[in-house]
Amino acid sequence: MEVTVAKTAGFCFGVKRAVDTVYEQIGTGEVYTYGPIIHNEEVMRDLEEKGVKILQDLDALEQITSGKIVIRSHGVAKAVYDRVEAKGLELIDATCPFVKKIHKIVWDETERGNDVIIVGNASHPEVQGIMGWCRKPPFVIETAKAAEDFDEEIAENACIVAQTTFNMTKFKDVLDIFGKKGYNLTVYNTICNATQERQTETRQLASEVDAMIVIGSINSSNTQKLYDISKTECENTYYIQTLVDLDLTAFESVSRVGITAGASTPNNIIKEVLIACQR
């Protein structure tokens, strides 16, 4: 059986930077992350075993009197920064630079009184963080259907941004719909380059193999996008978190298998799956 691993599979720059940042702080006192540093249960379990604690919300933050607060790669609302500063705690910002760029865009746009449309999942922590940098309530839409149904009155100089891990094809569909509706929008393509490359490679690889394995957390937005893209090209697409989830008997009758992984998937998990497939 021929097995091909996507070159872009695994940790992206922003995730690696965030994870390395937390590991560097271990042993320097009490270390907390505001929310899971990344969406990967294996990584978070290892960090917790090494003493890192996770704060899920502002109420949990209120209980902390000392220590270091590491901001997760997805970013957080400005209110979190303000509260950490007010409490006199040390803040270490591991927000992905691509996400930080969006924070600045929406802060500047709304400061000028402009409306902001965010294309993404409103319940995802990255989008919630972006919303928390808007100085006026933003509009959040996730689907072409939502764009079709959108009939809000917005400021003349409105802008549109995207969750960094959003599906590029779907983002373009949303932009086309808004264009046909006659909205005058400044478009910021904030889908990160790593996401675009990963999605493009996944689509190409899935079209060339008999089965695809997509590795990543069930809570990972970018991994879910990879699965959706792969499924459109290869019906035999399997979404797993670790090797334990993989039924190797499903590949006994195939000759070509492709493997890709979300941006929060450690290389050791990818290697385990690869080795198992090659046996």
Tokens linked to 229: 């893209």
Q: With the CA atoms of 125, 126, 131 and 132 taken in that order, what torsion angle do they form, in degrees rounded to the nearest 10?
A: 70
| 258 φ/ψ angles, rounded to the nearest 5 degrees | -110, 145
Rg (CA), the chain: 20
Q: Where are the beta strands (DSSP E) in the chain?
A: 2-5, 31-34, 53-55, 68-71, 90-93, 116-119, 139-141, 158-162, 185-187, 211-215, 237-240, 256-261
Determine whether 126 is an active site residue: yes
Select from 99, 93, 146, 151 the least CA-distant residue to 124: 99
Which residues, including other chains, have CB under 8 Å from residue 196's CB and lie 6 or more apart?
168
Catalytic residue among 126, 152, 197, 272: 126
Which residues, including other chains, have CB under 8 Å from residue 179's CB and lie 6 or more apart?
none
User: Taking phi first (over 0 means left), then psi (-120 to 50 degrees means alpha), and beta for anything else, what does residue 15 get?
Assistant: alpha
For the chain, what is the largest distance between any 2 Cα atoms, rounded to a whole number of angstroms? 61
- Residues marked active site are found at 126
